[in-house]
Amino acid sequence: MANHASAEKRNRQRIKRTARNRAAKSTLRSAVKKARTAITAKSQDAAAIVREAWSELDRAAKKGIVPSERADRVKGRLAAALRKSSAA
């Protein structure tokens, strides 16, 4: 339990920040999952869905929700899966 006003304020900020980051991370996970599903289903608009996932990844990396290296890695894997599914 916080005993100082500054500690109470930091706790309030932490709660807000955690909620915001959790929501953004959930949106990111949903976008990536949707892209993977579109790729495996060989959907016609899979490329557009993958681009939306890339956008979400870039946004999350910019905000510091996920590390930029991880965002790049996931983007690369999505691109490779898209190329593989479209070639087959």
CA–centroid distance for 19 within its chain: 15
Question: 5-87: which CATH architecture?
Answer: Up-down Bundle (1.20)
pLDDT (0 to 100) of residue 58 = 97
pLDDT, tens only, 24-72: 999 999 999 999 999 999 989 999 999 999 999 999 999 999 999 999 9
**Residue type (1 letter), 7:** A
- Geometric angle at alpha carbon 77, from 83 and 31, rounded to 5°: 100
Question: What are the residue boundaries of the structural domains of the chain, listed by start?
Answer: 5-87
Q: What is the pTM of this model?
A: 0.86
pLDDT level of residue 76 (50, 70, 90 thresholds) = very high
**Residue type (1 letter), 69:** E
